[in-house]
A and B are shown apart, each in its own frame.
Chain A
């Protein structure tokens, strides 16, 4: 992982045009994460060609774009999950609360506890529902004692809207749940470690419409406490759950704006083509 030097600290960066106060989004919230000039290479192949993006606190940012445009790659840069991919190289700067996540002072393990992730396919551990949620707090030592851990598990499952359905079967394997329930279990597992940001990589693509609606409601509720970045192929979903939307195309970030603006008045021709279904 090499980081380009000479990039100004994100704190000193000039606010970008769409971040200026008094504009469409009303009162501007602080940026939770910022990306500047992020380039990602898989071996010789360049997947991202310099992405600048701000992720605002307690807002949902949707990343849309055709397959292979790099939105999942970008998402995985935010919690350094790309570290685990052989031959993957990240350049540029990504900051969480002004601190470079690829810097020496940041430990990937700690970062991933602060920036949680929910994956495309529900991937509960083949353990009990309770152990699935309790795993994060256990390894990070977030709960002292049995009662506190029970409390964390209960709170997380409640926040994920799963408590009512599983409270009598916490000892059953997480894999025995339905697909939508499994995905909410994964969300509960992610929020059990109290992350600041939650990354969601197409969390509903393997779910039916009812389970999808469940998750979308959940995302809207979670926004109060967490900053959320969601990758989605479903433009209605992006329109429903997000406040801001970024459109990616061929490794570039074409346009990022308030969701309403993107869907009603896109500035770029490619964005318009994509959201109206001409390609993608």
Chain B
């Protein structure tokens, strides 16, 4: 034994000074130098890490800052005050356009020519008569009375009020005529043109006219789609993960299945769209543009994500818990349902919510099943035509009207808000379900 120890020591220290004991080596100058180098390396690493975090934070602030700066104004919309006399004959004819125009002309007694009147007509949103019609439909007793209404202004007027047009440019480069500016300024001066909270944005569906376009339809479409996705992929994914992790024999078949699930998670989402087109629309004849089909496709897409996350969460449950349960005679299913699954729940939920968030932000597979479409109505069922938030963003971003720019930004803000809510829910659920062992 003694021989062994001595030989080992000689092998470790081939230095010419065999007298140097390990103790003195730990106090030598060379050791101190190495120690300093180690500390310096650590400082460098920390600095690099902090710099990376700072850079990421800066990018996030820039992105959010630019979106907020562009989108915040969309929460307000310009409205014009009119004293409308609801002539019963015109109401009966449902000629609300004429009623509104008459009220507007009354504010500009000096305008008599056709061109001037056309400028005035265009101050109002083409949706304004419908607003008035809706009011009268709600309360038919209004017919014959004179009432003060605030109706939506045209999107160019809205943008003018918000300062989107540069007044110092010549008329030809400005994008809005001098006459319109003069009329809007006159209304502003008399207090008949003002900004109010934009409820249209949240309640309406899409529209060609920016001032009438809202993301209500897209939000409803997204929720319906997500509902279908969740209802299908969460139970299926968790069940598959539990079976593969806890019950399935480990053999070539389960290995093959595992490889395929991992592959599916990496398949481009457009492929799932093609599959949906071929199978759900082509073979089963399901309706186009429907949240039902969108949800089915998204479910196929998120399923592998949920299975993989759930399996990882199940694997992380210590085997001692399974043994404890089996050891007092719990059946394998009881072991899983009473002990393993509750302990894996935080991880499973996190994976599920990340999968859902991904589905919420996905557009490519919807392209194939007709959900990238101009849909004016807010969907009320799983088979109504619908679009989703990211698609709405994409379509608005493509629109030439200036007012769509701010609406695009605001839609992005709302999508980000929903994503933050989802991820926040993941964190909270994690905290609730987290248990120590």
In angstroms, how far is the closest chain B Cβ from the Cβ of A83?
9
CB contact list, A218-243 vs B, under 8 A? none
B435 within 8 A of A: yes
In the complex, the answer to whether B324 meets A186 with C-beta atoms within 8 Å is yes
* Alpha-carbon distance between A186 and B327 when the two chains are bound, in angstroms: 11
Q: Is A209 an interface residue (CB 8 A)?
A: no
Question: Contact between B437 and A109 (Cβ–Cβ < 8 Å)?
Answer: no
Chain A nearest CB, measured from B135 CB (Å): 60
Whether B338 pairs with A190 at a CB distance below 8 angstroms is no
Is the Cβ of A193 less than 8 Å from the Cβ of B324? no
By secondary structure, the B interface counts as: helix
Partner of B328, one of A84, A173, A189: A189
Is the beta-carbon distance between A126 and B436 smaller than 8 angstroms? yes
Task: A112 to B436: give the CA distance in the assembly, Å.
Answer: 26
Question: Residues of A contacting B322 with CB < 8 Å?
Answer: 84
Stretch touching chain A among B216-224, B267-275, B329-337: B329-337
Q: In the complex the two chains form, is B324's CB within 8 Å of A125's CB? A: yes
Q: Which of A119, A186, A193 contacts B329 (CB 8 A)?
A: A193
Q: Which among A111, A126, A139 is the interface contact of B437 at CB below 8 angstroms?
A: A126
Known: A81-B323, A119-B323. Is A112-B328 also a contact (CB below 8 A)?
yes
Is A62 an interface residue when CB atoms closer than 8 A count as contact? no
A144: Cβ under 8 A from any B Cβ: no
Query: Is residue A110 within 8 Å, beta carbon to beta carbon, of the partner chain?
Result: yes
A163 at interface by CB-CB < 8 Å: no
Q: Are B320 and A116 in contact (CB under 8 A)?
A: no
In the bound complex, CA of A175 to CA of B322 (Å): 16
Count the A residues whose beta carbon is within 8 Å of the partner chain — how many?
29
Given A86-B250, A126-B436, A175-B436, the answer on whether A140 and B320 have CB atoms closer than 8 Å is: no
Residues of chain B with a CB closer than 8 A to A123's CB: 318, 320-321, 323-324, 437
The answer to whether A112 and B437 touch across the interface, beta carbons within 8 angstroms, is no
CB pair A113–B320 under 8 Å, yes or no, is no
- Do the beta carbons of B328 and A136 come within 8 Å of each other? yes
Q: Report the Cα distance A116→B338, complex, angstroms.
A: 19
Q: Tell me the number of A-to-B contacts counted with CB atoms below 8 Å.
A: 71
Interface string of A101-136 (1 = CB under 8 A from B): 000000001111100111101011110000000011
Inter-chain contact B324/A109, CB cutoff 8 Å: no
Alpha-carbon distance between A117 and B327 when the two chains are bound, in angstroms: 6
Chain A residues whose CB sits within 8 angstroms of the CB of B250 once the complex forms = 86
Closest A residue to B434 by CB, please name it: A126
A183-200 to B contact mask, C-beta < 8 Å, 1/0? 000100110110000000
Given known A119-B323, A123-B323, A175-B437, contact A135–B343 (CB-CB < 8 A): no
Is B149's beta carbon under 8 Å from chain A?
no
Proximity string of chain A (29-47) to chain B, C-beta cutoff 8 Å, 1 when within and 0 when not: 0000000000000000000
Contact status A110-B323, CB under 8 Å: no
Taken together as a complex, chains A and B put the C-alpha atoms of A112 and B325 apart, in Å, by 10
A79 at the interface (CB under 8 A from B): yes
**Residue with the highest number of chain A CB atoms closer than 10 Å, among B327, B330, B436:** B327
Q: A121, A125, A175, A189: which has the most chain B beta carbons within 10 Å?
A: A125
Closest to A140 in B: B329
Choose one: B325, B326, B329; the contact of A125 (CB below 8 Å): B325
Of residues 322 to 365 in B, which have CB atoms within 8 Å of A's CB atoms? 322-331, 334, 338-339, 343
For window 414-437 of chain B, which residues contact chain A by CB distance below 8 Å? 435-437
- Complex CA gap A116/B329 in Å reads 8
Return chain A residues, CB-CB under 8 Å to B437.
Answer: 123, 126, 175
Q: Do A139 and B320 contact each other (CB < 8 Å), given the known contacts A125-B339, A175-B437?
A: no
Beyond the given pairs A113-B328, A119-B323, A125-B321, 4 more chain A to chain B contacts, judged by CB atoms under 8 angstroms and listed by A's residue number, are A81-B327, A84-B323, A112-B329, A118-B327
Lowest 9 CB-CB distances: which A-B pairs, in order?
A113-B329, A123-B320, A117-B327, A126-B435, A112-B329, A136-B328, A123-B324, A126-B437, A109-B331
Which A residues lie at the B interface, using CB under 8 A? 79, 81, 84, 86, 109-113, 116-119, 121, 123-126, 135-136, 139-140, 173, 175, 186, 189-190, 192-193
Q: List 21 A-B contacts (CB under 8 A).
A: A84-B326, A86-B249, A109-B329, A109-B330, A112-B328, A113-B328, A117-B323, A119-B320, A121-B320, A123-B324, A124-B324, A125-B324, A126-B321, A126-B435, A126-B436, A139-B334, A173-B435, A189-B328, A190-B328, A192-B328, A193-B328
